[in-house]
Amino acid sequence: MDKKIKILHLEDSLNDAELIHSFIESSSIAHDYYLAENEKDYLTFLESEKIDIILSDFHLPDYDGNEAMKVAQEKYPDIPFIFVSGTMGEDAAIYSVLNGAKDYVLKDNLKRLAPAIKRAMKELDLESMRKQADEALIVSEISYRRLFEAAKDGILILDAETGMIKDVNPFLIQLLGYSKEQFINKAIWEIGFFKDIVANKEKFFELQQNEFVRYEDLPLKTSNGQKINVEFVSNVYLVNNHKVIQCNIRDITRRKKAENALLANNSRLDLAMQVANMAWWEVDVITGIVTFGKRKAEMLGYPPEQFKNYKDFMAIVHPDDVGKTMSAMHDLINGLFDKYEAEYRVLTKSGEYKWFYDIGSVIKKDSKGKPLIVTGLVIDVSQRKHNEEALLASKEYLDKIINTVASPIFVKDTEHKMCLVNDAYCSLVNQRTEDCIGNTGFEHFPKEQVDVFIARDLEVFNTGKESVSEELFTDGWGKVRTIITKKTLYTDNTGNKYLVGVINDITNRKLDELKIIKAMENALESDRLKTAFLSNVSHEIRTPMNAIIGYLDVLTGEEIPGYPKDEIVRIIKSSSSQLLKLINDIIDFSRIEAGAATPKMQSAELSKIITTVYNMFKIPAHKKMLDFQMQISQPCKNIKIITDEPKLRQVLINLVSNAIKFTETGSVQFGCSYNNGKENELLFYVKDTGIGIDEEEHNFVFERFSQSSSIEIAKYGGTGLGLSISKAFVELLGGRIWVESVPGIGSSFNFTLPVGDVKGLNLAAKNADEGRKHLNWKGKTILIAEDNNLNFQLFASILQITGVRILRATNGQDAINKLKEHPEIVLILMDIRMPVMNGLEATRQIRLFDKTIPIIAQTAYAEVEDREKALKAGCNDYQVKPISKELLFESIESFIK
């Protein structure tokens, strides 16, 4: 007894009380001791203290022990009451115990007191425990009953021996729709709704023996024929030593429906995922363990167990994609993003890569917010990728095509902003693609051009009709070009309108057109001039020829009075000179045309040249009563110049003869001076007071075959060659020529010439002359292929001086034969036009057996084509007829040295 108990002692004798208390003290009972000497104290302590046990004397002067017990039992029936008395008789003791006293102890046997107190207290404990147990049982029975009544599962209680239904709860009654009477005292196998399931005896015996049976899903029929699904669980247990079976029947119809619905949903989801080529997955962040929806493995062709860990999966991701995929996952796990997104290739079982789009997020975190589980969806996007790649490839292909197109191409939106430009457009506007895109570029064009662009754009956008227009376009370098722009409307599948433009730059075509027109005009002009020239030439030839022939007749016949012989000879002579001049002009002109009029620069005395020309025209000028003068300014009177003397002389002759020809009265003056005092340049002039030339014809008169349009000119005759030859010669000699003239007043033809390096050239000229003197080709043989006798003789006489031996062939075939017969031949002069076989053919054939022998072709002047043909045929050089002695020597010498 550990608990400290409160002992109330009713005793009128203090001595006895002390003695009794001492016995309690000496025991091991922990206690508080309350002594009541009379009824009043007794009742007070009983009320005020929570007394555990009462000890009482039997006889008290004013009170009675039995009375005290009665009072205590009425108010506190559980407090044990023990009589401690010296006077108590046996009957009284038995009576008191029958009345409820726990015990009695005689004062002369007080050693019993402590055990009596202890026993009483123990019994009290036991009693209170039993009471508690009884109360608990009642409570549990009530609870059980309530549960039984209120349960939302059906409950059947069976007698385990007989199988009879002993109880059924309201829920089952309501669930199945049968009355309680229809259940009670029926054997379970008698009841129809359990038929064929637990309702047969065998099944019941199984249940009896196993003491437990469970059916997850039993289909039952209710009284109104409705089907329900139940879960059936039964347990066997003892009730008051009697075995009962409790069957719990749970209606799972709704759960079943929900499960079916879930199943249906899941299979729908599976189907949807299958259709969408999708699968779900889950990764345990801590362990790396992955769980894949079966679709994912299926999509890749592997068994699902192949992928246990995230790393297993990463092993089949394309090496180039592993990095970005893993870093996307890390970013999610480290909280940088709340979504994981990656696109990667995966090696399928069949060995090809498939593209996947993967998206996921954290679905479970620990208490600190650290991700535990990541889940997501993966979608097979191979087809999309394939389409994208195909699109990209076709875009690249298209880009390549449009960038290869030489015509500039652009696409604009309705705000005139560029959406696409090709390389040709960029180079036209001198801008990069990225600078063009998104801009109108209008700021680079003059306003009037922009207005035209906008008007044309709007026309196409508004009418939808194609527009083709010629426009001016300032390119990226500021050059104004003429372009033809074709603009077409394009509407995409979302209804957006675009304008597709293709530019055709026709600037060069335009220029070419102008050139062609000009060339045509020139050709027509040239044709016209040539026709005029020919009629002039024939007129110029016929006139002196008539004179010559006519006067020769006179000369050979009888002398006619009035036609003195001298005069006739003079006329013939002058007519011949006219013819000669004409022929010379034509030859000069031909040489110029053929590019063969190369100047031979030598030193020449200026005054000598001018004086010679003066002397030539002195008489004709005087005959026309003209004041004819030559003027050489003092500083350049005695100078020598480096020039081609015959050509300079020719120029002066042409100009002076024109001046005299076109001047009826007045003067003709010619001469020269330093040009503006510069000692390195001379200014020549031929001034007259003749008919003059219209200003617009000042340049024209220098063109070949050209003559002034003035009617007067016709009477002067001429071929229109003189001035063009003069111009060509002056330019060849390094100067320029121009005319200043006023019709009716007179003209001044002027030209400049460089003085030249007199010292150096004199020396070179001297050396050249000396060199020529020493030309000595004695012992060498050359072959001249020339059908024309006169020409051959000319060659022979020119070459005679060199001592060379000359053989002649009269046609190409003859030349080949001669070359074969005479191996000593060191060079061939080959005429191109010859009978039997021409020079070109002969050269070609010679080249078949002799590749080295130098062959110099002689081509007709001005026939440029012939020269080229000659070189092509295998000739080493060519000479233009009429042959120039110097050039011929030079050429031969360069080969046979």
List residues near ligand ADP by CB under 6 A: 654, 658-659, 662, 688, 690-693, 701, 707-708, 713, 718-724, 747
Q: Which residues contact 811 (CB under 8 A, 6 or more apart)?
A: 785, 787, 834, 835, 836, 837, 842
Q: Measured from the CB atom, is 726 or 752 closer to ligand ADP? A: 726
In 3D space, the residue among 579, 528, 529 whose CA is nearest the CA of residue 705 turns out to be: 529
Q: What is the DSSP letter of 700?
A: G
Least distance (Å) from ligand ADP to the CB of residue 550?
Answer: 23
Least distance (Å) from ligand ADP to the CB of residue 697?
Answer: 8
Helix (H) or strand (E) holding 280: strand 278-284
Q: Measured from the CB atom, is 688 or 814 closer to ligand ADP? A: 688
In 3D space, the residue among 772, 792, 781, 651 whose CA is nearest the CA of residue 722 turns out to be: 651
Q: Would you call 46 helix, strand, or coil by DSSP?
A: helix
Q: Measured from the CB atom, is 671 or 718 closer to ligand ADP? A: 718
Q: Measured from the CB atom, is 704 or 818 closer to ligand ADP? A: 704
Q: Measured from the CB atom, is 20 or 659 closer to ligand ADP? A: 659
Place of tokens 């600190």: 368
Least distance (Å) from ligand ADP to the CB of residue 866?
Answer: 28
Q: Measured from the CB atom, is 52 or 585 closer to ligand ADP? A: 585
DSSP string, 112-167: GHHHHHHHHHHHHHHHHHHHHHHHHHHHHHHHHHHHHHH-SSEEEEEETTT-BEEE
Least distance (Å) from ligand ADP to the CB of residue 622?
Answer: 18
Least distance (Å) from ligand ADP to the CB of residue 644?
Answer: 20
Q: Measured from the CB atom, is 325 or 747 closer to ligand ADP? A: 747
Q: Measured from the CB atom, is 440 or 741 closer to ligand ADP? A: 741
Q: Contact 652/684 with Cβ under 8 angstroms?
A: yes
Q: Measured from the CB atom, is 489 or 713 closer to ligand ADP? A: 713
- CA angle, 499 as apex, 494 and 503 as ends, to 5°? 150
Helix (H) or strand (E) holding 752: strand 746-754
Backbone angles phi, psi at 577, to 5 degrees: -65, -40
d(C-alpha 129, C-alpha 127), whole Å: 5
Q: Measured from the CB atom, is 699 or 793 closer to ligand ADP? A: 699
DSSP string, 589-630: HHHHHHT------EEEEHHHHHHHHHHHHHHHHHHTT-EEEE
Least distance (Å) from ligand ADP to the CB of residue 543?
Answer: 13
Separation of first and last alpha carbons in the chain: 159
d(C-alpha 518, C-alpha 813), whole Å: 46
d(C-alpha 668, C-alpha 652), whole Å: 13
Least distance (Å) from ligand ADP to the CB of residue 670?
Answer: 11
Least distance (Å) from ligand ADP to the CB of residue 705?
Answer: 8
Least distance (Å) from ligand ADP to the CB of residue 743?
Answer: 8
Least distance (Å) from ligand ADP to the CB of residue 691?
Answer: 5
Q: Which long-range contacts (CB under 8 A, 24 or more apart) does 678-683 make?
A: 679/635, 679/755, 680/754, 680/755, 681/735, 681/752, 681/753, 681/754, 681/755, 682/606, 682/636, 682/641, 682/752, 682/753, 682/754, 682/755, 683/750, 683/751, 683/752
Q: Measured from the CB atom, is 325 or 719 closer to ligand ADP? A: 719
In 3D space, the residue among 111, 77, 80 whose CA is nearest the CA of residue 6 turns out to be: 80
Q: Measured from the CB atom, is 550 or 743 closer to ligand ADP? A: 743
Q: Measured from the CB atom, is 21 or 687 closer to ligand ADP? A: 687
Q: Measured from the CB atom, is 645 or 697 closer to ligand ADP? A: 697
Q: What is the DSSP letter of 884?
A: P
Altogether, the residues listed in the chain come to a count of: 897
Q: Which residues contact 593 (CB under 8 A, 6 or more apart)?
A: 861, 862
Least distance (Å) from ligand ADP to the CB of residue 864?
Answer: 23
User: CA dist 754 to 597, 683, 733, 735, 762, Å?
Assistant: 18, 9, 8, 7, 15
Least distance (Å) from ligand ADP to the CB of residue 659?
Answer: 4
In 3D space, the residue among 483, 476, 405 whose CA is nearest the CA of residue 420 turns out to be: 405
Least distance (Å) from ligand ADP to the CB of residue 657?
Answer: 8
Least distance (Å) from ligand ADP to the CB of residue 430?
Answer: 49
d(C-alpha 449, C-alpha 473), whole Å: 7
Least distance (Å) from ligand ADP to the CB of residue 714?
Answer: 9
In 3D space, the residue among 532, 475, 544, 553 whose CA is nearest the CA of residue 508 turns out to be: 475
Least distance (Å) from ligand ADP to the CB of residue 738?
Answer: 13
Which amino acid type is present at position 687?
Answer: K
DSSP string, 498-536: EEEEEEEE-HHHHHHHHHHHHHHHHHHHHHHHHHHHHHH
Residue nearest to ligand ADP (CB): 718
**Which residues does residue 56 pair with via DSSP β-bridges, in sequence order?**
10, 83
Strands 81-85 and 103-106: parallel
Q: Measured from the CB atom, is 151 or 713 closer to ligand ADP? A: 713
Q: Measured from the CB atom, is 296 or 661 closer to ligand ADP? A: 661
Place of tokens 């040539």: 530
Least distance (Å) from ligand ADP to the CB of residue 863?
Answer: 24
Is 277 exposed, middle or buried, given 0-12, 13-18 or 19+ CB atoms closer than 10 A?
Answer: middle
Least distance (Å) from ligand ADP to the CB of residue 698?
Answer: 10
User: CA dist 724 to 185, 720, 731, Å?
Assistant: 151, 8, 11
d(C-alpha 784, C-alpha 825), whole Å: 10
Q: Measured from the CB atom, is 378 or 686 closer to ligand ADP? A: 686
d(C-alpha 696, C-alpha 217), whole Å: 123
Q: What is the DSSP letter of 198?
A: T
Q: Measured from the CB atom, is 250 or 704 closer to ligand ADP? A: 704
